[in-house]
Amino acid sequence: MTAPRKLFIKTYGCQMNVYDSERMAEALGASGYVPTDTAADADMILLNTCHIREKAAEKVYSELGRLKPLKDGNPDLKIGIAGCVAQAEGAEIMRRAPVVDLVVGPQTYHRLPAMEAAARAGERPVDTDFPDEDKFEHLPKGPRAVRGVSAFLTVQEGCDKFCAFCVVPYTRGAEVSRPAERILREARDLVERGVREVTLLGQNVNGYHGEGLDGRDWSLARLVRELAEIDGLWRIRYTTSHPNDMSDDLIAAHGDLDKLMPYLHLPVQSGSDKILKAMNRKHTAAEYLEILDRLREVRPDLALSGDFIVGFPGEGEAEFEATMELVRKAGYHSAFSFKYSARPGTPAAERPVLPDAVLDVRLHELQALITEQQRAAQQAMVGREVQVLFEKPGRMPGQMVGKSDYLHAVHATGEGIAPGQLRRVRITESATNSLAAVLL
């Protein structure tokens, strides 16, 4: 009996890449591959890349340099580049990196088994098309993997917003929403495999407009309401959202549905209307804050997360202070903040950039404020009773780690506690990135 080939996938970037890596592993599982956690043990290595951050492509080439000795020692080893760097630079990767055997974009990984077979035959296939067929429906079916209690579920891909700093419309394409029936089917399958919490994914997830069971386009709110009817699915989250698509029905769902968790990631990027206009965000700071007010009216305990870019071209001291003021008014439980870096091919890429020293000072100031808010929010949890979905053992004997309704990492000890349990706890202590609790 021939031993199965081993597959190692290294995933960069967003949650959607995590989901895509899982699906690629399942697709290659139909060709006899089994996963391995060690690149040195692999018969095939896939780098599932992200193109959002600065020097993303150079990081891929650096990783390829580290992998080259494995290829030299094992000529049968195949190395593939997937994801958004593959989409943006497929032909250049093949020219610059002879160690690479195949390049596959994020919309064509359902063709991976055929590409792998071509690579085994000595070809070097590149596929970065935007095909008409639904890749999710054309993925080869590998063995059904055992799942954890939480899982990602892609419902929408691509973006039509064309923010001036963002490469997503060019690497992921136009907005496409999956039909609701296929999402519901996949969600039920996940529940059958032990999943109790799903996070719905999309580059612009609240712009979802997939065909519903009634033949009409459904909103994300309608989809969430249908998902909430699935027995055994206890929790629903979604990310990443755009303020312009935070519709009335979605806001109402946050007040109506106990299964829709009281946590929202809603990026704003800047608090300055001047900079928001330059970014092509098509909303103002006041409109963003009004959305938060409406959400908190129906869900007062909402935990808010966001994204910020510091030093976008044209940002002066007044514009930066407007961002600081928005953060003070919004009150974040957590937020991600970055110095602006130009992405080739985006409208902002040719604009004058600010001195790096200025960006460093502003980023430090913004992150200090966000950290202060995060610590205050976590400290306010001490003494509260919350539900925790436990996922895995902790570092201490008898300890389990899970997520609260508000996406806090919570660790607790107690008799009979096990992965997959949804238990009520009392928060006893706040640490930097987690909470301690006792079972009730």
CA gap 185, 331 in Å, rounded? 37
Phi, psi of 435 (to 5 degrees): -125, 145
Q: Tell me the C-alpha to C-alpha distance, in Å, between residue 183 and each of 153, 190, 197.
A: 8, 11, 14
Whether residue 159 is annotated as binding a ligand: the answer is yes
Whether residue 84 is annotated as binding a ligand: the answer is yes
**Helix or strand (DSSP H, E) at 220:** helix 220-227
Whether residue 17 is annotated as binding a ligand: the answer is no
Q: Which amino acid belongs to residue 403?
A: K
Cβ atoms within 10 Å, residue 239: 20
Whether residue 309 is annotated as binding a ligand: the answer is no
Whether residue 288 is annotated as binding a ligand: the answer is no
Whether residue 151 is annotated as binding a ligand: the answer is no
Are the C-beta atoms of 381 and 399 separated by less than 8 Å?
Answer: no
CA 269 to chain centre: 17
Is the torsion defined by CA of 148, 335, 163, 352 positive or negative?
A: negative
Burial 382-409 (b: 16+ CB within 10 A, else e): eeeebbbbbbeebeeeeebbbbbbbbbe
CA gap 274, 313 in Å, rounded? 11
Binding-site residues: 14, 50, 84, 159, 163, 166
Binding-site residues for [4Fe-4S] cluster: 14, 50, 84, 159, 163, 166
